[in-house]
Structure formats: structure tokens, C-alpha cells
Amino acid sequence: MEPSKTNFDCCPEFDPIPWDDKTFNWENKKFIKDKVFTLFYMPMNFGQVMKRLDRKVTAVEASIPDNLCLSDHTSKWNMDLYLAVDKEVSDAENTTLSGKFFSKVYEGPFRDTEKWWKDFESMATAKGHTIKKWYLWYTTCPKCAKKYGKNYVVIVGQI
């Protein structure tokens, strides 16, 4: 993982500034993909999947740029995870994302997600963007969010 990992228990403290109300381009940005079982959109094995991905990343001495992990809620029963990596990871589903993206940072309890989605869509539309694909980035685990006193979630939309 990142060299700064020694400064925290599990998740680094998130800096929202580089991700709040930003538009950016990715060209073949590397990710490894895995699946999380969800029960009515509630992740059931998120921690286990993250540990599995971390083992794969560690085994090939890769790093996770920005500790970025995008979630794609594909149904009430599944969430695809896209963990950013700096190189190919053996024994993993390697993939890339390319295109123009818009991101906005939110802070608060997960129950506010629907409110955040509506706000994000309004902001994107006001900027003339049409969202093709939505991702959520849960920047810290619940334990670390409590430790830092902030529960940041970033919505990233491909536009």
C-alpha cells in the first residue's frame, strides 16, 4: 500500500479538496475488479473483499494511487469494486477506465446517499454534463471515519 500507511490503523485520512467539484480525464487508468455481495444495496462482505484485493496488490508490490476504490452498485445484490493500481496485478481481474469524469465530495451518514445522488445529478446537469456511469468512493471504513470524525463519500460520474 502507500508509504504513509504507518500513520493510520487502516485507512489514510482523506483530503476532499482534490476531488470536490472537479472534472478530469482518465486514459486507461488501471484498476483491479472484484465483487461484493450486497443485501438490498448494503455491503455484506466488503471488508473481506478489500483484504483479498490488498493481498493481491501486496504480493506484486503494487501501490494504490490515492487509495482510490470505486463502487458500482449493479443491483440490490451486487457491487463491483474497482481498486486503482499502478501496475498489472497477477491473479486479479485487471481492467482500465478511460474518459471524462466529474466528482463531488459529500460528508455524512450513508443514509444521505439518495440526497447526495440528487444533488450530484443537479450539479452535473447545471454544468452541462450528462452522466453515463455512476461510481461511489467510500473513502474510509466506518472505524476510520469515526476516528477522523468525518465520513467522506465521493460520487464520481463518467460524463
Domains by residue range for the chain, with CATH? 24-158 (3.20.80.10)
Reported pTM = 0.91
The pLDDT assigned to 9 comes to 61
**Phi/psi at 154 (nearest 5 deg)?**
-110, 130
In Å, how far from its chain's centre is CA 25? 16
**Side chain identity at 148, as an amino acid letter?**
Y
pLDDT one-digit tens code per residue, 63-96: 999 999 999 999 999 999 999 999 999 999 999 9
55 to 42, 59, 67: CA distances (angstroms): 24, 6, 15
Cα distance between residue 159 and residue 157, in whole Å: 6
> Would you say 140 and 91 are in contact if contact means Cβ atoms under 8 Å apart?
no
